[in-house]
Structure 1
Amino acid sequence: MSRFVDRVVLHATAGAGGNGCASVHKEKFKPLGGPDGGNGGRGGSIILVVDPGVHTLLDFHHRPHASARNGTQGQGSFKAGASAPDMEMLVPDGTVVFDQFGEIVADLVGAGTRFVAAQGGRGGLGNAALASPARKAPGFALLGEPGEQVELTLELRSLADVGLVGFPSAGKSSLVAALSAARPKIADYPFTTLVPQLGVVSAGDETYTVADVPGLIPGASDGRGLGLEFLRHIERCSVLVHVVDCATFETDRDPVADVVALEEELARYTPALGGSLDERPRLIALNKVDVPDAADLVDIVRADLAERFGWPIYSISTATRAGLRELSFAMAERVAAERAATPAPEPTRIVLRPKGVGDTGFTIETDHENEGGFIVRGERPERWIRQTSFDNDEAVGYLGDRLARLGVEEALAKAGAVPGCPVTIGEVTFDWEPSTPAGMAVLMSGRGTDRRLDDPDRVGADERKRARAARRAHLSDAELGAGARYSSDHDLDAPER
């Protein structure tokens, strides 16, 4: 018999991208063939896919670690590396995915729903893709990016319309067996039901599902018993039914006290999917009325229950099937009303959120661990660091050019960085050497301007024109004509520098 597992921790590692290839075309009579290194292949992603044929997370319990394949390296002659196939992992309908901080990242509902749990790394560019007019034959290629490594918690929240709650041995499993074709374990001792049970019920034209969770007891919200562990399976239920044992031999229990205790435990439970269990419509099923003492107790407490809670009350017996038809149609009526009130789900829309034109995509922070140091944080700088082979000087120079074009050097200069101070990007720390003029950090100005031209000792154009006019004022027309012809050849009238 297979085990029921509704909560697992998945350690997913996506495949890394293949490295780019640094190659130069070699052929007879073609000494300058040029770069022809291909790009690396993309690493495989790990994708969770909803499959209606899967009803438990047992496979993840036995294999909690999942690793996708890596992409292959590029080759010469412009041959790109092969991309690794994605790893698809089947999950049951109603699976909720949490990150390591306990936040919901996906609610997988509906057959075929897909969620990328770990994204595969992109392949590195070959030197053919890195060639430019300024770098015609790059002697390096970019490294492939590593795949994502995530730790996710998967929890199954059953898709049931009606949830049965009650004390142990109240007859919930017997009710599911009497209303549907499900055959849960039934015995005369508490906590017979150790895992949630689902049954499909047909009442008239309505078909709905009923979920039976392990029995609740006072203190369940503090960890007693099993019921609170599985209350997540009734989060999606639109109707809750209190199944009350009217033939219990415990002298300190009665139907009113049972319902009050159950409501207190439900109030302490906070659904992770949002909303509140208090908003769900309720029904009360007084069970085991085939016992004479229980039938008498039902007549006594019915009025008290109706006055205190105001919910519909039904007297049933799972042994003689008395009252089951009325209860099943009452549940069907409320399920139909809830379905009609719930708006139809809209198709998933793709939302594009482009970044602003002026968004540099990085921030500069002070490094408190290294005196005088700075930390550069951003998706692009950190990705470029991972793509760089630091044993290749040309690759390091290319990285410096990319960071300078992004504006990292200017931002460091504004933050007070000086040559030689430690700068950390990603997992790499290096001594900053600016590539701006004269090895000094110069803040760049707007287009068409240069702050170095603001030197007050520099002779301006107007002053040079006045000096030239003064030199030519005492010359005759003939001398001016001879000087103009001579200056066209020798540029005698060029302004002094």
Structure 2
Amino acid sequence: MTTFVDRVVLHMQAGDGGHGCVSIHREKFKPFGGPDGGNGGHGGSVSLVVDPQVTTLLDFHFRPHLKADNGKGGAGSNRDGANGRDLVIKVPNGTVVQSLDGEVLADLVGVGTTFEAARGGRGGRGNASLANARRKAPGFAELGEPGDKLDVVLELKSVADVGLVGFPSAGKSSLISVISAAKPKIADYPFTTLVPNLGVVRVDNHTFTVADVPGLIPGAATGKGLGLEFLRHVERCAVLVHVVDTATLEPGRDPLADIDAIESELTQYGGLADRPRLVALNKVDVPDGKDLADIVRPDLEARGFRVFDVSSATREGLRELTYAMAQLVDEGRRAAPPAEPTRVVIRPKAVDDAGFTVEAEPDGSYTVRGGRPERWVKQTNFDNDEAVGFLADRLARLGVEEKLAKAGAQAGDLVRIGEREFDWQPTLYAGVDFVPGNRGTDVRLEDKSTRPSAADRLEARKARRRRPEDEIEGTPETAADDPDDLDDE
């Protein structure tokens, strides 16, 4: 039974952020010392990193569910919760990360290459961090943000300089066993090789890797046999070598027909037309094989192939073949463009970019999309009226209320933000002078008769704009009232 796995589906879960703490400092002679609830810790992230010691995805076949640690909750006395530990997953070189619908998320080539697949949730702020000049003792804290959930497909595409392709039992495994230290399974029946084998070949000052790709048959590019499972392993090869069995006794088989069949499958698979080819006429130690090699060599050379007579048993022609491989690999490396240094691209936001959008839905509801509004909703404890009022103030200062009104929303209309749905009440607008009541409550949610009308809200807003700047310092519309409101993601 083979232990090689080159395609798995992973279910990743980043850690959730810890909840903030609601606490009031109390000690002798100081019965009300102010809020001292600490912040929650951030959840751990899930990352993939290329490790040279890992050669297969077998571990994930048996353990497809992966989860990072959650952040710890905050505590009193301004104690912040611990951050969750990140989960680092080691994968083989050449692993391609795809979404379930086939979109490529990352191509991990090169030792140490890292990809953060799922980001941990932010920790919620405690009431000490939420206190300001207007709300001196908040009776609420933010909830931790849930971590990302992601299902991905990992596909392993071997990273080799040379790929050996050919029909089953053409002698590819024997060839790689004599030109390198690889020890693949060798037997006298077709499909002995069920997994790609990699070998390291050294020729003078040149070192390159060779991949022994399992045997291909006609129809492999369309899924026949195991072709699609292994054709992906020749995608990254810089040189392809046709290994042809010149001593086969199968009827209808000859070197030219074998090469034509393999080339047809490579063409149908696509992306390999520009790779240089070599032809190794194998098993010339057999008399009939030597005779057939002499017959077909002129035709192959006429097609532009460099042809080598080789024998894994007697090692005839292997030196010339490996030198030709090394020459083509060296030419490919020199022709490859130099690796560009990583550049950080800064794309400033437009001056009129509010960071969110409001869309009217066909059913008469409205959907608010944006990083900050959706995150704020996730971090709100809807069992606490003061927290709900605080959320309404933040959304209004961001401009959500104004955009909803411009989009035609009326009181009582359904509004969606993230996974939450609300009956929109524009009377919760933050532009009204508001004095918090008891901790954990909000009078605007308790007594609807006291809510100001739209005209009163408009007049109050105009009055504040007419005041000198020093008089409105610390009012709900200033960024200093809640410095985190307008932070970038």
Q: Please give the range of the TM-score, normalised by the shorter of the 2 chains.
A: 0.7 to 0.9
The alignment status of 1:343 with 2:346, answered yes or no, reads: no
Match of 2:251 in 1: 251
- The answer for the alignment partner of 1:367 in structure 2 is 361
Q: Aligned partners of 1:280, 1:199: CA distance in 2, in Å? A: 20
Equivalent residue for 2:305, pick from 293, 308, 311: 311
| Distance in 1 separating the partners of 2:33 and 2:54 | 56
**Runs of at least 4 residues off by over 6 Å:** 441-445, 447-451
Gaps of 5+ in 1: 271-275, 452-497
* Counterpart Cα distance in 2 of 1:18 and 1:163: 50
**Corresponding residue to 1:414 among 389, 398, 406:** 406
TM superposition shift of 1:126? 0.6
Deviation at 1:419, TM superposition (A): 0.5
Contact 1:9 1:153 in 2 (8 A): yes
The one-letter code sitting in structure 2 at the alignment partner of 1:298 is: A
Partner SS, residue 163 of structure 2:
strand
Map residues 185-334 of structure 1 onto 2, 5 A cutoff. Answer: 185-270=185-270, 276-307=271-302, 309-334=303-328
Deviation at 1:109, TM superposition (A): 2.0
Describe the superposition over 1:226-278 as per-residue Cα deviations: whole angstroms up to 9, x where unpaired: 233112112111101111111111221221111111111111114xxxxx210
Asked if the contact 1:238–1:335 (Cα under 8 Å) also holds between the matched residues in 2, the reply is yes
Percent pairwise identity: 64
Contact 2:2 2:195 in 1 (8 A): no
1:449/1:267 CA distance change after superposition, 3 Å: farther
CA contact (8 A) 1:424 1:430 kept: yes
| TM-score normalised according to structure 2 size | 0.87
8 Å CA contact 1:433–1:439 kept in 2: the answer is: no
Cα distance change, pair 203–15 in 1 and its aligned pair in 2 (3 A):
same
The Cα shift of 1:2 comes to 7.1
Is the CA contact (8 Å cut-off) linking 2:126 and 2:142 kept in structure 1? yes
Whether 1:378 and 2:392 are equivalent positions in the alignment is no
Aligned counterpart, 1:161 = 161
Distance 2:45 2:348 in 1: 24
Alpha-carbon offset, residue 444 of structure 1: 7.9
- Assess if the C-alpha contact under 8 Å between 2:19 and 2:73 holds in 1: yes
Are 2:25 and 1:30 equivalent residues in the alignment?
A: no
Secondary structure of 2:273 counterpart: helix
State whether structure 2 residue 454 is matched by structure 1 residue 440: yes
Mapped contact 1:93–1:159 kept (Cα < 8 A): yes
Q: Go from structure 1 to structure 2 and tell me whether the alpha carbon gap of 1:441 and 1:2 turns closer, same or farther (over 3 Å shift).
A: farther
**Inter-partner Cα distance in structure 1 for 2:349 and 2:136:** 31
Distance 2:390 2:7 in 1: 47
Cα distance change on mapping 1:440 and 1:321 into 2, 3 Å: same
**1:62 & 1:364 partners in 2: Cα distance?**
44
Q: 2: CA distance between counterparts of 1:30 and 1:234?
A: 74
d(CA) in 2 for partners of 1:22 and 1:69?
23
Q: Deviations over 1:48-68 (max 9, x none)?
A: 122111111111111110111
TM-score (norm 1): 0.85
Rg bigger for which structure?
1
The verdict on how the C-alpha distance between 1:418 and 1:288 changes in structure 2, with shifts beyond 3 A counting, is same
User: Structure 1 pair 449/100, CA: closer, same or farther in 2 (3 Å)?
Assistant: farther
Change in Cα spacing, 1:103 to 1:286, as seen in structure 2 (3 Å) is same
3-state SS, counterpart of residue 278 of structure 1: coil
1:353 aligned partner: 347
Letter in 2 for 1:247: A
Cα shift at 1:86: 0.8
The DSSP-based 3-state class of the residue aligned with 2:201 is strand
Residue in 1 that maps onto 2:422: 430
Deviations 1:182-212 (A, max 9, x none): 1111111111100000111111211111001
- Cα 1:366–1:170 shift into 2, 3 Å: same
Q: Deviations over 1:154-202 (max 9, x none)?
A: 1112121000110111111111011111111111111110000011111
Q: Name the CA distance, whole Å, in 1 between partners of 2:416 and 2:105.
A: 30
In structure 2, distance between residues paired with 1:232 and 1:153 = 14
For 1:149, the aligned partner's letter is K
Structure 1 letter corresponding to 2:67: S
Q: Secondary structure at the match of 1:49?
A: strand
Instruction: Using the TM superposition, give the Cα deviation of residue 34 of structure 1 relative to its aligned residue in structure 2, in angstroms.
Output: 1.2
Give yes or no for contact 1:413–1:443 (8 Å, CA) kept in 2.
no
